[in-house]
A and B are shown apart, each in its own frame.
Chain A
């Protein structure tokens, strides 16, 4: 039981490049989330998926898109990376409104 896994662990991009962050969970949770963590700002919700087939914007969705591929997987895409998207990205999952469980994170540096 791996919990929530994320790939890659670390990525460097140039401004304008695109990439997809992958997230998978093996806890059979319905809900999944993408957050970004910046110093002094806690975690901010980018997008979430309450259940398979649905996605909704969070607090800071601009510049991102998501895909809920199936119940296990929820990917985050940066179409044209900007330096302001340099951050640590966390994926999480939960069964409804209960405890969210987090992955180990992806460190992204945009030059």
Chain B
């Protein structure tokens, strides 16, 4: 079974400071990892993904994430936060082993990011 944990329900940072939103995962095979962002009353928007290759993945709006296989983590980062980054962030994982779990993503419970002016 695959699972995702986002250990922080909320993250608060000041505008201009770096931000990190944490994610750890568990899969039996190689992980496919995703970050999505959700603004109020909107659907989920794709930010970035890790499938294979370079452990540092760059995505939309200046976000990046680092895949760490030994720590089974995929933390989302941004060097300088903006007030407009305030939203709900979801980490998701798919087991690369495939089979009957074809295409199925497992989501974390979400982390509310608040960036203060």
Contact = CB atoms under 8 A, between A and B. Distances in A.
A97 B32 contact: yes
A99 B49 contact: yes
Nearest to B46: A99
Given A31-B103, A48-B103, A97-B103, A105 B43 contact: yes
A101 B90 contact: no
Contacts of B44: 43, 90, 92, 102
How big is chain B's contact interface, by range?
A: 20 to 34
Nearest to B90: A42
A40 B105 contact: no
Interface in A78-111: 90, 92, 94, 96-97, 99-105
B26 interface: no
Of B9, B49, B104, most buried by chain A (CB within 10 Å of CB) is: B104
Contact of B104 (A42, A58, A105): A58
A42 to B, nearest CB: 4
Interface string B69-82: 00000000000000
A43 B93 CA distance: 12
Given A99-B34, A102-B44, A42 B102 contact: no
A33 interface: yes
Contacts of B49: 99
Interface of B: 4, 9, 32, 34, 36, 41-46, 49, 90, 94, 96, 98, 100, 102-105, 107-110
Given A33-B104, A48-B104, A90-B44, 9 more contacts: A42-B107, A43-B44, A44-B107, A58-B104, A90-B43, A96-B103, A102-B43, A105-B41, A105-B43
Interface of A: 4, 31, 33, 40-45, 48, 50, 56, 58, 90, 92, 94, 96-97, 99-105
25 contacts: A4-B43, A31-B102, A33-B103, A40-B9, A40-B110, A41-B109, A42-B4, A42-B107, A43-B44, A43-B105, A50-B102, A58-B104, A90-B43, A92-B44, A96-B103, A97-B96, A97-B98, A97-B102, A99-B46, A99-B49, A100-B46, A100-B105, A102-B44, A103-B43, A105-B43
